[in-house]
Amino acid sequence: MKVLAIMGSPRKGNSYKLTQLIEEELKSRGEIDFEYLFLKDTPLANCLGCHLCIKKGENFCPLSDDRDLVLAKMAGADGVIFVSPVYMFTITALMKNFVDHLAFLVHRPVFFKKPAMIFIHRGDMFKESIRYMERVARSWGFSVVARLGIPDPDDMTPKSRDKSLKKLKTETEKFFRVLKSGKLPSPSLYDLIAFRVWKINALALEKDFPADYQYWVEHKLFDKDYYYDAPINPLKKVVARLLEPVVRMFLRRTFRGY
């Protein structure tokens, strides 16, 4: 099984040292091919804000860098770990630039059926950074099955060090179990409603966002309940269906074009 760790620190420092512990834990459980993708060594230009990737399609991005290589690595992995230390209360600028560069994926997610783990070093004190990265990964299609936020064990008292390392083991175990079984949690009500919001967008904004509309047509999504066939709780399915006109009404009241 191939695991890709996307590293957001500008150095091979503490978050790298801790990710190596995750690597060791994973390898002690099974055959794992573990690859690091250091954003600090990966040419990814700053997003220009032109919206072309979102509106017309990712091939219209005027930047020329390693974006497609990064996407290919993510597509080739069975599971992805997003790693960032906390810099000024949140993820690093490198990680944020990576997220912005792939913003079109929130409109047209592709990483379904792939488990993800979020590791924010010092995220124990900055839980919103973990929540943020989880939101990003989910919006790209990943199923976030493990979340870790710990400081550097070398800075800690023996008791809190043990607690952190135990947490590292249990979250890694969760990630490993899903990797191995291939069994992902079924979509939540939030996921089902988000699906319908994007459907409304694709239909309403066909002219302004042709890439989204094309994606929905190509993937034959308009008549579906979710992006892929998955066991869905029938009650959640009904609630999401009933909420669709309510969401549309809200959007109509607030924005033009709906």
Ligand X SMILES: Cc1cc2nc3c(=O)[nH]c(=O)nc-3n(C[C@H](O)[C@H](O)[C@H](O)COP(=O)(O)O)c2cc1C
Chain contacts with ligand X (rule: CB under 6 A): 9, 11, 13-16, 85-89, 121-122, 125, 152
Q: Which of 180, 177, 125 is nearest to 151 (CA)?
A: 125
Which residue's CB is nearer to ligand X, number 84 or number 143? 84
Which residue's CB is nearer to ligand X, number 16 or number 60? 16
Smallest gap, in angstroms, from Cβ of residue 134 to ligand X? 19
Smallest gap, in angstroms, from Cβ of residue 121 to ligand X? 5
DSSP string, the chain: -EEEEEE--SSSSHHHHHHHHHHHHHHHHS--EEEEEEGGGS--PPP----HHHHT-GGG----SSHHHHHHHHHH-SEEEEEEE-BTTB--HHHHHHHHHTTHHHHS---TT-EEEEEEETTTT-HHHHHHHHHHHHHTT-EEEEEE----GGGS-HHHHHHHHHHHHHHHHHHHHHHHH---PPPPHHHHHHHHHHHHHHHHTTTT-HHHHHHHHHTT-TT-SSSS-----HHHHHHHHHHHHHHHHHHHHHSTT-
Residue nearest ligand X, CB atom distance: 13
Which residue's CB is nearer to ligand X, number 85 or number 109? 85
81 near 6, Cβ under 8 Å? yes
Which residue's CB is nearer to ligand X, number 13 or number 30? 13
Which residue's CB is nearer to ligand X, number 11 or number 183? 11
Which residue's CB is nearer to ligand X, number 9 or number 172? 9
Smallest gap, in angstroms, from Cβ of residue 152 to ligand X? 5
What backbone phi and psi angles, to 5 degrees, belong to 117? Answer: -125, 140
Smallest gap, in angstroms, from Cβ of residue 47 to ligand X? 21
Which residue's CB is nearer to ligand X, number 120 or number 232? 120
Smallest gap, in angstroms, from Cβ of residue 164 to ligand X? 13
Smallest gap, in angstroms, from Cβ of residue 202 to ligand X? 38
Smallest gap, in angstroms, from Cβ of residue 252 to ligand X? 41
